[in-house]
Homo-oligomer: A and B are copies of this chain.
């Protein structure tokens, strides 16, 4: 037993533990990629790369078909799984794994979309809030003016006919402070830049992958 064996060596063995007979999806032949500039790719792992197929990386066509199927239905009954597997030349297990991972990815993406949706809503609500705040300021000013006017008219009425205690109805409104010191309501929170265009992908983005 090579008990002192260096870990470097163990690095890759085979990994073809999968017992799949005719599975070879390995080495995706990238179309139009004649530049193997990875020559510095040490032998450590490269040694076996030639020896046995590392599989990994489904071909573009395989992925396309899988995506289409995923698009029509995220779940995968074993019948469909087997059909797909034979169509693609993959092990049913691989198809199942692909779907699992795809679902996980989809979920993540959905979460991201929800985040950005929430963010947009948040921003728009913030804008709305600012608008309301300034509206409020405006109204307070108008109210203040109106109160002044009422005072003035009341004085006139009083001076004209010495008794008329009629107008004291909206007095409570006038006692609001004259809102002078505080403008900051409007000034900050203006960093919400309005980017109305949605730049993120929505839902069907996978379609573009094979279109």
Contact = CB atoms under 8 A, between A and B. Distances in A.
A210 to B, nearest CB: 9
A38 to B, nearest CB: 17
Contact of A150 (B125, B140, B153, B209): B153
B145 A147 contact: no
Given A15-B54, A48-B18, A90-B7, A185 B129 contact: no
A2 to B, nearest CB: 8
B52 A17 contact: yes
B124 A200 contact: yes
- Interface size bracket, A side: 35 or more
Contacts of A135: 136, 192
A141 interface: yes
Interface in A115-163: 115, 117-119, 121-122, 124-126, 128-129, 132-133, 135-136, 138-143, 145-150, 152-154, 156-157, 160-161
Given A90-B7, A121-B200, A139 B136 contact: yes
Interface in A1-56: 5, 7-8, 10-11, 13-15, 17-19, 45-48, 51-55
A169 B185 CA distance: 18
A91 to B, nearest CB: 4
Interface of A: 5, 7-8, 10-11, 13-15, 17-19, 45-48, 51-55, 90-91, 93, 110-111, 114-115, 117-119, 121-122, 124-126, 128-129, 132-133, 135-136, 138-143, 145-150, 152-154, 156-157, 160-161, 164, 166-167, 169-171, 173-174, 177, 180, 183, 185, 192, 200-201, 203, 206-207, 209, 211
